[in-house]
Structure 1
Amino acid sequence: MEWMAPSCDEIEEAARQVVAALPEAFRARAAEVALRVVEFAPDDILKDMEAEPFELSGLYDGIPLTQKSAFDQPAGPDTVWLFRRPILDEWAERGDVTLAALVAHVTIHEFAHHFGWSDDDIAKIDEWWT
């Protein structure tokens, strides 16, 4: 039997299912955030964060809702980035979680930055934190 690692599109679909399962109070605001899945973080992001390609599995790029102001001039849409290869690498190294659970964890963690959630807030949604 031949096994193929999930594509960026398949990981994106899994992440979209996580967003769709958020509590109703958060779904509409989460749907306003762009969701991008790519192989690795772009070089400019890695440089800005002083990170290596496999160190970053996800990133929130935007202004958290708790800090937004009517005076903000956004440079682009708030975006949650997921990085396929680092996610797959972490999943393979851990060996103790499903890929779906890891994608959900990274997705929720990045949306937590968007919503300005505390760790207690995250724990109410993401079993990983409990």
Structure 2
Amino acid sequence: MSDAVMGRAPSLDDLAEIAERAFAELPEGFRRLAGEVVFRVDDFPEPEVLAELGIEDAFELTGLYQGVDLSRRSVLDGSAHPSRVFLYRRPILDEWAERGDVTLEELVTHVLVHEIGHHFGLSDDDIDAIEDAAE
């Protein structure tokens, strides 16, 4: 990643590129099940999102799933909006710098998989249990 090597923080586009590569490297079945989820990278969540979630510090939210998860979806759903996964650049970079024990690519992959897990209808506890079992 040239910006990181040059001493600059990765841009929104850089993080989007990392996320696209991370998604492409996931197992084909996982990607297929993810379907038409739209990925978006923003610097921070919108203030309304933080208020809805009861989060005061924007650095506490690295990603977010918005949509109707697969366990609740019906053929009768006429949702005009596709499911979306948001990755928040500044909180991700902050966590990456604080931790120092993972690559940026590993952290982005972790956040991406976590949010796609919500698309599959998994709770945070379900996702944590899967991650713990994989370690």
Gaps of 5+ in 2: none
1:87 maps to 92
C-alpha contact 1:105 1:128 (8 A) present in aligned 2: no
Aligned partner of 1:82: which letter?
Answer: L
For 1:88 and 1:4, the matched residues in 2 are separated by: 11
Using structure 2 for the length normalisation, give the TM-score.
0.83
Q: Once the two structures are superposed, what CA deviation does each residue of 1:97-118 show, in whole Å capped at 9, x if it has no partner?
A: 1111111100110011112244
- Aligned with residue 18 of structure 2, among 4, 7, 14: 14
* Identical columns (%): 48
1:36 maps to 40
2:109 maps to 104
- Offset at residue 128 of structure 1 (A): 9.6
Aligned partner of 1:87: which letter?
Answer: I
- Offset at residue 121 of structure 1 (A): 8.4
Using structure 1 for the length normalisation, give the TM-score.
0.86
Gaps of 5+ in 1: none
Q: How many residues align?
A: 127
For 1:48 and 1:116, the matched residues in 2 are separated by: 20
- Offset at residue 26 of structure 1 (A): 2.5
Structure-to-structure mapping, 1:66-77, within 5 angstroms:
66-74=71-79, 76-77=81-82
Could you say what the CA RMSD is over the residues aligned between the two structures, in angstroms?
Answer: 2.3
